[in-house]
Structures are given as structure tokens and as C-alpha cells.
Structure 1
Amino acid sequence: MTEFSAAAADENETLREGIRRYVRNRLVPLEERVAEEGAVPDEVVQEMRQLGLFGLTVPEVYGGLGLTVAQEVELVIELTWASAAFRSLLSMNLGVGSQGILADGTDEQRNKWLPRMASGELIAAFALTEPDSGSDSAALRTRARLDGDHYVLDGSKRFISNAPLAGVFTIMARTSAERLPGNAHVSAFIVPRDTPGLSVGQPDKKMGHSGALTADVYLDGVRVPVSNLIGGREGRGFQTAMKALDRGRINISALCVGQGRRLLHEMLSFSADRHQFGRPIADFQLVQAMIADSQADLYAAECMVKETARRCDRRENISMYASCCKMFASEMVGRIADRAVQIFGGSGYMRDSVVERFYRDVRLFRLYEGTTQIQQLVIAKALRQQFEKSTANGEGR
């Protein structure tokens, strides 16, 4: 759906304004508490459930709001004016946790799991990364062995977002010992948290993102029914992950835009209030240059993200564009955070500074869901394929 009625547009704008007020009046004042306690308060989680934030991207037929990607981007930008920990709590329900089941799951799987994810009754987690398998995710070692009408899973996962809170995991595992063409040795399984043999390690201690919980997940003889194999067919897990990953990369890019907006706001506020040599530092041209560069970076990223979201809604192949967005936006917000610390000076290096916290938080965005270097490989490979195809057709000479 790419065209919207005036009523639908008004409804989306009302939702956006509601989230904007909630974020700035409710979530921003809680940022320091979340950073100190290392968790989003339970009452906030319940409020997010009541607001329907866990179901923004789940279709209405399963109890969600069924937002388009373009609508999702607008709301994520508003949501991430606050600490990224709040968005992280929702991220798997909005992204691969639900979208994988939506894209490739059976009707039974969609009807059973998506309504509970949309309501926030279940917080989802997606378990692909392993101790020896990061960027080369198809090299995972976790095994799934068919035993009658069940699969038995053994292995471990690392850095799994929401693992300490999750009620259900999407677990990627090998169903073939050999690495098969198209990564057909990887399958995806829905595994409830209370399944015997599944355990979660202690929350990771990270550079930033306090309150956004990650942990290792251990699988020791975990038995799941055949009906929990996503799509009911082996060998589709990697493709399922990749389908959801494009939308996830757009979402992360929108997150970077939201964080960049907040950082630029803090820079403007501080430079107007901070006086040196008898006047605000905002009057100094070198400070103005950093602010101007940040606005240009932010504008470019926002345009990229919104255009790619529209292409996605038109069902175009956006894998290369999603990688462009993720690469540029994550690098962009890192540059803005660095400039913010520079403008704040010594104050920006103190642990009680909002820009110091954001500086540590945004460093992660260049790493997860595909590092900058992985995005470069994706982009270069896609361009080379396009060039070879056009050359074979006698074009572009």
C-alpha cells in the first residue's frame, strides 16, 4: 500500500504526535535512571504495551497496527529522540522476531505467535550470532537434529538482544552438517523460553546501551516440535533472516536519524547557553561549522532512509539501498556524537553528560545487524552484478 487517504494520514500524524509527547515527557526524564539501573522500568514496559508500540509493524489481522515501512520510519525517528534502550526493548517484536514468521511462517505459526508479539505479551529475541560466527553468520555451529516428530537443538548464541527478557526465541541452526549452496543448511525454529534445555547467561557488560539487555543463550538437548520449524521446511532459515534484515536495516537507520536529531538539539542548546570571551560559543564560526556539518549529515541520512522506506513499500528490491542507509546513517550519527562531545568540551567527557552517554551508545550502530564493512561488501557486490548484467545486455558502454 503506497497511497494513503487523508483520514489515514491524519491518523498516522496523531499517532506520531502522541509518541513524540510520550517520549519527551515520559521517557527522556527516565534516561539517567535506565542508565544507572541497567533496565527499562517495568511500568514503562507496561505503558508501551498499552500504547501498542510492540505491534507497530504486525498486520492488523494479528492484532498490530500494520504500519508501512514509511510510517514505521517516522515513528522510530520520534521514539529514538530518547535513549536507544527504549527502542531496543521493542526492536525484535518490530523486526526479525515477528517479520521472519510473517514472511515465511505457516498460517498456524502466524496465528499462534504474532498476536502475542503484537500485544507485548511476549518479548521476542532473534538468535543468530554465535561465539565463532558473527559476520559469517552462515558458519554457525548450533545443530538441529530431527528425532521423530521433534528437533533436538544443541549449541550456543552470543550477544542476543532481549535474551534476559524474551519469552520466545527465533533460533537459527544447522539442519545439515555440510555448508550447502544458498546457505540451505540453515533453518529457523521458534523456541519458547520455558523449553527444557534452554538457558540464558548473565546480562552482558557493554561499553554503552545500558538498559538494552543482551546475553548468551545456551541450548542443551532442546526439543521443539516439528511444527516450530518456520515455514515447515528445512533450509529456509538464512533466506528468512535476510528478508527481515532489509527492513531491520532501515529501522536501524531511522534509529540513527532519531539519535542524531537529539544530539544536534543538545549541541544547539549547549552552544547557545555556554559563554566564552563574553559571548555564546554559538557565535564562533568553528562551532557553527560543526553544527552545519551535522545538519547536512543528518539531512542526507534522513532523505536516504525515507526514500528507501518508500521503495520498500513499493515492493522494490532494496537490499543494496538498505545497506547504503545502514552504512551512511550509522557512520553519520557517530560523526555527530563526536562533534557534540567536542562542542561540550570537558563537560562532554563527563559521565553525567547526555552527549557522553549517547557517544557510547551510538558506537554500536556501526557493528550490529551487519558492520559497516559488511554493508560495503553488500553494496559493492550488488553494483558489480548490475554492471555485469548491463554489460552483457550491451548497455552502459
Structure 2
Amino acid sequence: MTEVSGAVWSLTILGILGLLAFDFFFHVRKAHTPTLREAAVWSSIYVGLAIVFGVGVFAFGGSTMGSEYFAGYITEKALSVDNLFVFLIIMASFKVPRDDQQKVLLFGIVFALIARTAFIFAGAAIINRFSAVFYLFGIILLVTAGNMLKPEGEDEHSADNFIIRLAKKVFHTSDHYDGDKMFTVVNGKRALTPMLLVMVAIGGTDILFALDSIPAIFGLTQNVYIVFTATAFSLMGLRQLFFLIDGLLDRLIYLSYGLATILAFIGVKLVLHALHENNLPFINGGEHVPVVEISTGLSLSVILGVLVITVIFSLVSPRGKVQTAISGARHHATNYVDLEYTADSAERERVYAKLLEEERQLTQADPKFRQMIDEELDLAPLIERAHREHEAFLAR
């Protein structure tokens, strides 16, 4: 394993902090909704930086470190896209105004980076002392993979969780936003705004995400520098990616299956590695078990292959297109009738245009998917209400 000097560590950390500061002061500080072009350009820049960094790792650290970095980066990036689903659900349940969603996302990214850094160094310390922890990491990933295959509702990640209920009981809270302020004054009393509560909710989910993602990347490499940088670069640009693929998130209906496959594969790899390094007395008398170990090159190939197949199947699936239209219509109709969603008339027109397109897709859907649409009992009244709101808006 190539040793990384303190100077390289310092420069890397300063570079990441500089990117976060740049993102805040030049993009997030002033509340606005990023255009599709802005999101695409900056998403490309952050992915480009991650690739350039990986090429540098190849050049200065060798092919093994380079392969481990890209395997870790791609895995963590895929997991972070899955995290965006949960962020979307949380922000929808809190009805975060569109213009302020950037700030919530950036907070989530920073908190995730802090939480995962803590888990990385804690995990590295445990691995150095107890190699048997690979058994535990492997089991965690296999259980997580199984849980990903279970159907889950939005309520599992909604705003109504223990921390939020406790905060509302203990502290004076406001039901309405005051721009992007954390605190406001209601009836002469200082109160917490929903902006602070949504950040608490996202911070809590970030900790849960770290419990899955850190064992996954330790299954690909035990080089702490590679683990840290791959994780950090996977989080960079996540805010822009959210706005870029906002309409595509619901389309990736098979993503959970792909991620479950990847996590199960890494879980098996970890268990095999644990058997190879075994020192538990009740397994093979404390001696290592002669098993096949999975190479980094094979890991990278499997991860890329699974993701490509998952995305292609999601995008071409007729059922996926119908499910996307249903989810999109509900999402855009809800946003349109929510007057606190945004004050930008152009943004409201964009949302309404999206709703019309999704409504057209539903009316033209194959009859065999009609039951899927009919089961959404509250969707038609919601869309009708959005039409009435639009007519009232035009009549002003």
C-alpha cells in the first residue's frame, strides 16, 4: 500500500474545503433555483474533477490505488444518487421552497462528509486492531442488500420521525418558512423554522447512510486516503446533480435492485477476505481459510456492469415510464398547488408544463397499465385542482 504523506493529506483537505466554500458563496448563498444548464455544467465540472483526481492517483499511486479509487468513487456515487431519493422525500414532506432547496442540499452534503469522515477513521482504527470486523461489515452489507429489495413507502423517510416530534414538543416551532432563516419570531416569541427542522432530519438520515456506505467502500479498499477521497468526491456536485436529474429520479425504478446486487457482491467479497485473513479460533482453528479473493479489477467491472444494466432497463421499461409519469404528475401537481413552493412565476410555468406532459403520457399509456393508474385514487383530484389553480392564475 502506497503511503500518503501529511502534505498530500493537507492539500487534499484544503482543496475539498475550498470547493465547498466556493459552492456556498458563489451558488448557494443567494437563494435561487438553478437552471438546467447551470446544473449540467457544474455537475460535469465536479465529475471531471473527480476523474482528473483519479488519473492523478493512477499516475502517482499506481494502478492498484487508481483502480480502488474509481471502484470506490463509482460505488459511492451510485449510493449517493439513491440518497437523493430520500432527500427528495424529506424536502417534499417539509414542503421546502424550491429556491431554498440548494441550501438544504449543501448542508446535507457537508454533514454527510463530516459523518462519513468520522466513520472512516473509526472504521480504519477498528480494522487495524480487529481484522474479524470484515465479517461484520460483510454481514451488514448483505442485510442492507436484502432490505433494499423490500418495498418501502415514503412514510419511512418522512418528516414525522422521533427527533422532529421531540423538537416540536421541546421547542417553540413555526409552521411557516421565513426565507432561509433558521429562527424567526412568532407572536413576539423566538421560534425554530421548518428550515432548521429539515436540516436536522437530513442530518439524521446522513448518519444512517454512512452506516451502509462506509462498509461498502472498505470492502473495495482499506487505504484510508482512497476511502476518504472517493467518498468526498462522490458527494461533491451532488447538489447540482439533484436539480439535473430531478425529473429522472423516479424513472430509475430498478436502481434499488442494482444497488442491492452491488452491496451483496461487496458483502460476499468482504466475507471471503475475512476468511482469508481469519484469526477467529472457532473458524478453522484460527487459521486462514484458503478461499478465492475477488480482485479490484473484477469488482470495478461488476459495479460498472450492474449500474449500466440497471439504468438501461429502468429507462426503456414501459412499466417504468408509466410509474415515472404517475410519480411526476403527483410531484408537480403538489408543487403547483402549494403557493409556498416558489414565488417565481417562470418556475411555476415550468412545473405546470411538466404536469401537462405527464398527464398526456398517462392518458396514452398502454391499457395493461391502466390498473396502476386507477389505483392512485387521489391523483386525479389533485391534478384537477392544479388545473383550477392555473386557470385562476391566468385570470388575474
* Highest RCO, 1 vs 2 (Cα 8 Å, sep ≥ 6): 2
TM-score of the pair, normalised by structure 2: 0.31
TM-score of the pair, normalised by structure 1: 0.30
Higher Cα radius of gyration: 2
